[in-house]
Amino acid sequence: MQVGTLDEIHRYPVKSMLGETLAEARVGELGIPGDRAWAIRDEQRGGIQGGKKLPGLMGCAARYLEPPGSGPAPAPEISLPDGARFLASDPDAAQRIGAAIGRELTLWPIVPAENLEHYRRSAPDHPDLQQELRAIFGREPGEPLPDIGRLPPEILVNASPPGTYFDAFPLLLLSRQSLASLQRAAPDSHIDVRRFRPNLLLDAANGAAYPEQDWIGRSLRIGEARLEVALGCPRCVMTTHGFADLPRDPRIMRSLVKAAGGNLGVYARVETPGRVRTGDPVELLPGA
């Protein structure tokens, strides 16, 4: 059953930086080649970090000058908010990013999964776990926290699944209808897809407010690829940060918690690799 079409394909070469839009991509076991293939390590706090704790990264951007293949991704070109551009492989790349966001850091391509210390989470900023989680997920007292027990267990001790830099799953799907529903719930906020960083932006066919939430536990066929929709994406404080022309806006999380339980979009695994193209139909496959 067709439930929509593939509207946009997004790839983010450096974790938490703005990325690039593609007309097509071959989706593999680890998602789109080159997606989140580089990341920042905070040498003051320790550990791989993203926009949750280093919001300045969200105003930077990255793109590939040559397309990634099946091996390690090439060094992308990084753009800073002041317009400066350089390659991630330049000797002073990390220093220039650090100077732009006011933090001592290093820049890393993906390293082997066996190097667990590289992926280990840094020490929390708050001694109280509830306070730490509320800071990460942008939740106020009285608002429910996400059920982190549903996430892959390895990310409870690691910043990402070892051998990758994505948050939890290789793909994030989001519909235009969900963005429009959140905009209606937050009429005074600027709901922009750049705040939510999907890999695949879909135009859903049904009239549900947040249609992709109905696909959890089911499989989709998009182009040649078959995807398993794993769970809803619990949104974090990144969605409220200001960057580029978007203002800081904590009201977004207030509206998102009230309207959709704090989730927007869905995480997916790749069951069958294959090429996807904008305009491809999105088919909901029969359940088991």
Distance CA 208, CA 181 (A): 9
- Tell me the average pLDDT across 44-69: 94
Tokens 């840094």 belong to residue: 122
Distance CA 58, CA 196 (A): 11
Predicted confidence (pLDDT) at residue 45 exceeds the cutoff of 90: no
* pLDDT tier for residue 70 given thresholds of 50, 70 and 90: confident
Confidence (pLDDT) at 187: 97
Q: Return the half-sphere exposure (C-beta side, CA atoms, 13 A cut-off) of residue 219.
A: 11
Share of the chain above pLDDT 90, in %: 90
CB 217, CB 229: distance < 8 Å: yes
Distance CA 99, CA 276 (A): 38
The torsion defined by the Cα of 75, 78, 84 and 89, in degrees rounded to 10, comes to: -30
- Tell me the average pLDDT across 110-129: 92
Least confident of 88-92, 148-152, 160-164, 262-266: 148-152
Share of the chain above pLDDT 70, in %: 100
Going by C-beta distance under 8 Å and a sequence separation of 6 or more, which residues neighbour residue 254?
140, 186
Confidence (pLDDT) at 149: 85
| 200: containing domain | 2-284
Domain count along the chain: 1
Confidence (pLDDT) at 150: 86
Confidence (pLDDT) at 46: 87
Secondary-structure percent of the chain, ordered helix, strand, coil, rounded to 5: 25, 30, 45
Predicted confidence (pLDDT) at residue 288 exceeds the cutoff of 70: no
Both tokens of 171, joined, read 């793909």
- Tell me the average pLDDT across 183-203: 97
Enter the DSSP assignment of 244.
T
On average, the pLDDT of the chain sits at 95
